[in-house]
Amino acid sequence: MTIIVTGGAGFIGSNFIFHMLKKYRDYRIICLDKLTYAGNLSTLKDVMDNPHFRFVKADICDRNAVEKLFEEEKPNIVVNFAAESHVDRSIETPEIFLQTNIIGTAVLMDTCRKYGIQRYHQVSTDEVYGDLPLDRPDLFFTETTPLHTSSPYSSSKAGADLLVLAYYRTYGLPVTISRCSNNYGPYHFPEKLIPLMIANALNDKPLPVYGEGINVRDWLYVEDHCKAIDLIIHNGNVGEVYNVGGHNEMRNIDIVKLICKELGKSESLITFVKDRKGHDMRYAIDPTKIHQELGWLPETKFQDGIKKTIRWYLENRQWWEEIVSGEYRNYYEKMYGNR
Ligand code: NAD
Ligand code: TDX
């Protein structure tokens, strides 16, 4: 079995590669990644010498490069993690999101059609459903909830999802889609809420909470997401969408306070800043379908996962300190300087 994992130098893709190489000793895993600001080769250093692994630096929008890789490797499965993934960046510069998230997906699927494939899996997000009101805790996103996006990021992901389903219906491409809630865990880029708050707290820097901090996200430990994708690509039904989430809703402010407590830092570091434009209020996934059809259940409780995550950031300071001391500093200044 040969699997191409796009975006495997990023947060979830790298965790997926580690999971697959450990579990399936005879699979060949090829990581195709452009190494944007979010991709880190150092993340993959432990598997670089693994004979079952290959890294290829390429853009999923580059048709020639993608076709060349398919000719060389003749993959059985493609799992597409490659994306521009940060909502705040999409509000600043939408175009690259359309390019990578939509055009890149089309190029990958065209190549799958040309060379033949057993499965094309699209890693999508719960953000395609828009948001839920805070005063209706009885409501959850199911796979049939209408797409109703808020940001350029989520719109580009929804556009890609529709294209994936169109390639299934029009060309019979054997596709699946997973729509997961917010992940957390090792190798999470420090522009996102949890790693940003951990890194800032460790450096005694202000903890910038948007608006009142009452927005709710449904957090899942990254390994549980990887296990869900593993199940879907092996046992999921072609043409289907699977929601992935662990019923773990938390307000942003409570997450930030918890991080302060775990690190022994004062809550006086918390600074309320200008809200995100179009900020989604609440995400909440109903994972009944993947549980009933594929037997998936989350294994890591948030209380344990957040401790493991914080420990990882303490033990791997070099990984994130290199990021926060480099080009990322300009981004931080631009996004938070006058907020
Ligand atoms: P990330 O930003 O950490 O990683 C993205 C990776 O894709 C990077 O390695 C980057 O170099 C690569 N990439 C970007 N553009 C590329 C291109 N044109 N060609 C090749 N590679 C390219 O993202 P992540 O958080 O790991 O998210 C992975 C996927 O999961 C995304 O599709 C995202 O929409 C989805 N998702 C993320 C979450 C979450 O909480 N992080 C939740 C649900 C779904
Ligand atoms: O500095 C911050 N302060 C703050 O209050 C940041 C970076 C975020 N927030 C808030 C905004 C959100 O309500 O925290 C919440 C989480 O923010 P992000 O980490 O940026 O995640 P989110 O916008 O929820 O999107 C994430 O989950 C779904 C991923 O980045 C997406 O790729 C995924 O699809």
pTM greater than the 0.95 cutoff: yes
Count Cβ neighbours within 10 Å for each residue of 282-293 and write b for 16 or more, e otherwise.
bbbbbbebbbee
pLDDT in tens, 235-278: 999 999 999 999 999 999 999 999 999 999 999 999 999 999 99
Which distant-in-sequence residues (6+ apart) come within 8 Å of 239 by Cβ?
165, 168, 169, 174, 175, 176
What is the Cα–Cα distance from 248 to 166, expressed in whole angstroms?
32
pLDDT exceeds 90 at position 199: yes
119 alpha carbon – ligand 1 mean position (Å): 19
The pLDDT of residue 100: 98
pLDDT exceeds 90 at position 147: yes
Atom of ligand 1 lying closest to residue 157 CA: 34
6 alpha carbon – ligand 1 mean position (Å): 9
For 325, counting Cβ atoms within 10 Å of its Cβ (0-12 exposed, 13-18 middle, 19+ buried), the class is exposed
pLDDT exceeds 90 at position 172: yes
256 ligand 2 Cβ < 6 A: no
What confidence tier does 29 reach under pLDDT thresholds 50, 70, 90?
very high
The pLDDT of residue 289: 98
pLDDT exceeds 90 at position 338: no
- Which of 276, 154, 262 has the alpha carbon at shortest distance from 208? 276
What is the Cα–Cα distance from 277 to 335, expressed in whole angstroms?
12
Q: How many CB atoms lie within 10 A of CB 215?
A: 22
Nearest residue CA, atom 33 of ligand 1? 85
The pLDDT of residue 91: 98
Write out the two tokens for 228.
């869900």
Three-state secondary structure call for residue 299: coil
The pLDDT of residue 241: 99
Q: Where are the beta strands (DSSP E) in the chain?
A: 2-6, 28-33, 53-57, 77-80, 119-125, 175-180, 183-184, 207-210, 216-218, 220-221, 240-244, 249-251, 270-273
The pLDDT of residue 290: 98
pLDDT exceeds 90 at position 124: yes
What confidence tier does 328 reach under pLDDT thresholds 50, 70, 90?
confident
Q: What is the mean pLDDT of the chain?
A: 98
Which residues are part of the catalytic machinery? Answer: 126-127, 153
The pLDDT of residue 327: 84
Looking at the structure, give the CATH architecture of the domain made up of residues 2-336: 3-Layer(aba) Sandwich (3.40)
The pLDDT of residue 240: 98
Assign residue 211 a region (left: φ > 0; alpha: ψ between -120 and 50; beta: otherwise): left
The pLDDT of residue 339: 85
Ligand nearest to the CA of 245: 1
pLDDT exceeds 90 at position 218: yes
The pLDDT of residue 326: 87
Nearest residue CA, atom 3 of ligand 2? 209
